[in-house]
Amino acid sequence: MLGLSLREVSAALKQGQVSPMELCQKCLSLIKETKFLNAYITVEEERALKQAEESEKRYEKGQALGILDGIPIAVKDNFSTAGIETTCASNMLKGYIPPYNATVVQKLLDQGAVLLGKTNLDEFAMGSGSTDGIFGPVRNPWSYSKQYREKKKQSHHRADEDSDWLITGGSSGGSAAAVSAFTCFAALGSDTGGSTRNPAALCGLVGLKPTYGLISRYGLIPLVNSMDVPGILTRCVEDAAIVLGILAGHDPKDSTTAQDPVGPFTLPILRDVGKLCIGIPKEYSAPGLSSEVQAFWSKAADLFASKGAKVVEVSLPHTSYSIVCYHVLCTAEVASNMARFDGLEYGHRCNVNVSTEAMYAATRREGFNDVVRGRILSGNFFLLKENYDDYFVKAQKVRRLIANDFVKVFNSGVDVLLTPTTLSNAVPYLEFIKEDNRTRSARDDIFTQSVNMAGLPAVNVPMALSSQGLPIGLQLIGRAFSDQQLLTVAKWFEEQVQFPVIQLQELMDSCQTFSQHKKLASVSLKR
């Protein structure tokens, strides 16, 4: 049951095959049993059950609110949730209970979704591994999959279960792990430089980054206001489209949302692939790209071509500068956005009381980790009067060049760009932490962050398993506000590649959680 798609389980709820309460309880049990994944920071058991109960009543009366009614979901812990602790995995906000719901959270709740809890992340969403939060790193469920384990045995690696686990990618790793391990049917992440698409690729999920301005950011605790978007993580493309349909639209509380009407986001079946033009940016053959990913990328391009699509090489000449550009703009905005954390109105407050400045300094020293503090200092450097033009304005100019690259390409007839999402499959945690956060982020975000700078929609679609038995995903990028078209292509692609379901049977069996449904994971995704 937990392995079904949103549409399927919603139908099951409607037909009474399962009740919202049952569904909720199953998910909550599974969360408990998969606690070692460290995907959740807060689990709201009582609240979730109450919501499920109310949903059940509605179903009984035949008054379901919509397709999401009664569906368990999870939300990344940088979205404000009224009455539920929202920490951003930072000491600065430990114990902070927002008095309001983020617009996206409210929209989901208004549709009757059941909020199971808040998921783990890198502190303040800064990172590409979900390893740098105060609640510890998130483990990739694929570390425990049959597919991965078998490959490991084959290559005669020590099956050291506990210390060899893999990262989820980040920074929305908690949400990715939650969806990947079947504890919920959809999860909200955020995407500033790839934070939704990256963990989606490493955890074998669909990770959608919508167009900037399509979904409200009100209530999303910001990293980079001019690039952040709420991201959607699901197990199939259609589910992502369903959630997008609910979340998209103008929000008077967010002045950066488009005022034009949006939608609908129902996905037609892509019948005429021949009319499609797929662009392959040549600059995305970056150093560090694993040969496996390259091969899959090539294979995917082949696939499109074989079905009649026009596949062309394109150029995004300023790609090589996107990391640097992102680095400057991101740290500058971070420096600004973090200025509000001073302990006075909310959040952590130190015990120093000599003066306001001393209190602020001590609070911020205690509240932020090294990564955050480092970015604040760098950002302030770039914003200094004497540096502003040379760094910040310069980066803004480069941003325009990067955005223009995409505009030119799309104007030349390309519908969708096809690129890798990550350099390789998920790596073991111990290997990952050998380098510092900024180095990693700079490297891992390479395929994803220029999309944020241009504000375009992009989606990761899981394609196949690597030789290690781990997911490899590819990224599709579309024109601004062409999210529906993008997802239509993504859905077609997903259907073609038939990415395998994660096999967590052993894990489940050893947990002995389910009374009725023991054999979950071998259910293939039906249409």
Partner 1 sequence: MWRRTLRAALRAGLSPGTTGAVAEARAARVGSSRFAGSDSGKAEGPSPGGRVSAELIEHLERLALVDFRNREGVARLQAAIEFAGQLRAVDTDGVVPMESVLEDRCLYLRADDVVEDSCVEALLQNSQWTVEEYFVAPPGNITLPKQSEQDPVTES
Partner 2 sequence: MAAPILRCARAGRCWSLGSRPRRTRALFAEPVPGRVREQSSAALQEPRPGAHEWAAVVGLEIHAQISSNSKLFSGSQVSFLAPPNSSVSFFDASLPGTLPVLNRRCVKAAVMTGLALNCTVNKKSLFDRKHYFYADLPAGYQITQQRLPIAVNGCLTYSLSVGAHWSPSATKTVRIKQIQLEQDSGKSLHDDTRSQTLIDLNRAGVGLMEVVMEPDMSCGAEAATAVRELQLILRALGTSQANMAEGQLRVDANVSVHHPGEPLGVRTEVKNLNSIRFLAKAIDYEIQRQIEELRNGGKILNETRAFDEKLGCTVSMRDKEGKQDYRFMPEPNLPPLILYDAESLPTAADPQQVVNIDWIRERLPELPSVTRGRLVEQYGILPEHSFALLNEDGLLEFFQTVMKETRAEPKKVIGWILSTFLGYLKQRNLAVSESPISPSSLAELLSLVDSKVISLPAAKQVFEELWQNQGKTTGQIIQEKKLELLQNQEELEEICQAVLAEHPQEVMAVKKGNQKVVNKLIGMVRRATEGRADPIRIKQILEKQLQ
Active site residues: 76, 171, 195
The H or E element containing residue 308 is none
Nearest to 239 by CA among 215, 212, 211, 267: 267
Q: Given the rule CB under 8 A, which of 19-27, 237-245, 341-349, 491-499 is the region that contacts partner 2?
A: 341-349
The H or E element containing residue 426 is none
- When asked if residue 479 is in the footprint of partner 1 (CB under 8 A), the reply is no
Nearest distance, CB of residue 256 and partner 2, angstroms? 6
Q: Given the rule CB under 8 A, which of 198-206, 340-348, 421-429, 449-457 is the region that contacts partner 2?
A: 340-348
CA distances from 337 to 221, 222, 233, 332, 372 (A): 9, 7, 26, 9, 11
* 111 touches 246 (CB < 8 A): yes
Task: Give me the phi and psi of 328, to 5 degrees please.
Answer: -70, -50
The interface mask with partner 2, positions 230-269, x = CB under 8 A, is ----------------------xxxxx--x----------
Interactions with partner 1, residue window 491-520 (CB under 8 A):
none
Closer to partner 1 by Cβ: residue 170 or 213: 213
Report the C-alpha gap between 296 and 420 in whole angstroms: 9
* 124 touches 379 (CB < 8 A): no
* CB contact set of 355 (below 8 Å; sequence gap of 6+): none
- When asked if residue 381 is in the footprint of partner 1 (CB under 8 A), the reply is yes
| Binding-site member from 323, 433, 497, 525 for partner 1 (CB under 8 A) | 323
Interactions with partner 2, residue window 380-409 (CB under 8 A):
380, 383-385, 388, 392
Report the C-alpha gap between 402 and 304 in whole angstroms: 26
400 contact, one of partner 2, partner 1, none, CB 5-8 Å limit per kind:
partner 1
212 contact, one of partner 1, partner 2, none, CB 5-8 Å limit per kind:
partner 1
3-state helix, strand, coil in the chain (%, to 5): 45, 15, 40
- When asked if residue 321 is in the footprint of partner 2 (CB under 8 A), the reply is no
User: Which amino acid, 417?
Assistant: L
91 contact, one of partner 2, partner 1, none, CB 5-8 Å limit per kind:
none
| Binding-site member from 25, 29, 91, 225 for partner 2 (CB under 8 A) | 225
Strand partners, 471: 465
Q: Given the rule CB under 8 A, which of 3-11, 152-160, 192-200, 437-445 is the region that contacts partner 1?
A: 437-445
- When asked if residue 91 is in the footprint of partner 2 (CB under 8 A), the reply is no
SS3 82: coil
- Structure tokens that stand for 473 in this block: 């995903």
Residue where the block lists tokens 């590819």: 474
152 contact, one of partner 1, partner 2, none, CB 5-8 Å limit per kind:
none
- When asked if residue 347 is in the footprint of partner 1 (CB under 8 A), the reply is yes
Interactions with partner 2, residue window 342-371 (CB under 8 A):
342, 344-346, 353, 356-357, 360
| Binding-site member from 63, 412, 439, 510 for partner 1 (CB under 8 A) | 439
Interactions with partner 1, residue window 144-183 (CB under 8 A):
none
319 contact, one of partner 2, partner 1, none, CB 5-8 Å limit per kind:
partner 1
- When asked if residue 332 is in the footprint of partner 2 (CB under 8 A), the reply is yes
- When asked if residue 277 is in the footprint of partner 1 (CB under 8 A), the reply is no
| Binding-site member from 258, 497, 511, 523 for partner 1 (CB under 8 A) | 258
DSSP states along 177-242:
HHHHTTS-SEEEEEESSSTTHHHHHHTT-EEEEPPTTTB--TTBPPS-TTT-EEEEEESSHHHHHH
Nearest distance, CB of residue 362 and partner 1, angstroms? 9
- Structure tokens that stand for 460 in this block: 């990761």
Report the C-alpha gap between 67 and 69 in whole angstroms: 6
* 422 touches 473 (CB < 8 A): yes
- When asked if residue 240 is in the footprint of partner 1 (CB under 8 A), the reply is no
Positions that interact with partner 2 (CB under 8 A): 79-80, 88, 93, 98-100, 102, 217-222, 224-226, 252-256, 259, 332-333, 335-336, 338-342, 344-346, 353, 356-357, 360, 380, 383-385, 388, 392
